[in-house]
Structure 1
Amino acid sequence: MSSTGERQDDEEVRWLDEQEKAAWTGLISLVLLLPGKLESPLRQEHGITLFEYLVLSHLSEAPKRKLRMGELAFLASGSLSRLSNVIKRCEQRGWVVRTPDPADGRYTLAELTHAGFDVVHLAAPTHLRAVRRMVLDVLNTTDQKALARIAQKLRIVPDDLD
């Protein structure tokens, strides 16, 4: 819109029909509400955020518990700047260490420590119970496959990873 309220392009607005509106409002409700519901038990029982858990979890599953920061950001669905802030906090807690990548010093590796592995190992059952209760157990196999297919189609790469 221009400062006078007029549209600046010639593209016609395509208003949502009932099916599109239901799909959009359902998706945006999931995007806005589900992370908080998944994070709450992690915060209460383990003092960590959902993003911290995802970062630690991906590191725990990586070969030698190490990943390049860019790859870790992609896997955890976050930007490099957000990941850097979280990794800094995790380093301060002794859960992660950062080192230059010996294969290519332009990259930084994040490595999960034994203490970090203990944290994710203790938090995993809490997270999995919440995921099952709030998502997987209410969907049948067909719904789960559809959700995975839709998520892949809508996969958004953070701007600083493009």
Structure 2
Amino acid sequence: MRIKLAAGDRFEAGWPDGAAVVEWSAATAVRFYAVYVASFRDRPGFPDPTAEEWIEENTEDEDFRPEWSIMVTLPGHGDVGFVTAADGWIVQVGVVPAVRGTGLGGALIRESLRRMAAAGASEAWLTVNVNNPSAAGLYRRLGFDDMGQRARYR
């Protein structure tokens, strides 16, 4: 899926009260990993990488953008959602089950897109598994357009 961006785009995240946004750094990467695991371990085929493997998979990509990769913390819940991003891509978005359906996933994506647009990016892409229609619906509501289906994508 793809969304066109313009330098003047102002995506309003719409954070819940008390939300704190944290950027990816060497000091926060393990926290991102913990939210990743909590967000996806219930999905069929969860690969269960170690923290070191998952962090390296993100940071070894020369296009990885830590300033566009963010995590959100909520009072009473702790770290509850994250997005990782690379040049032109929303790489991964996860929200822990306890706060799904609250708009947090959309807020994370809008904030990452805002940062991309401010840096001059003209578009952003993402992929979504066909067995995740709720995520695909969110991406469409945010303005992403379907651009095709990749064969054998899981």
Identify whether the pair has TM-score above 0.5, normalized to the shorter chain.
no
* Larger strand proportion of the pair: 2
**Higher share of residues assigned helix:** 1
TM-score by length of 1: 0.28
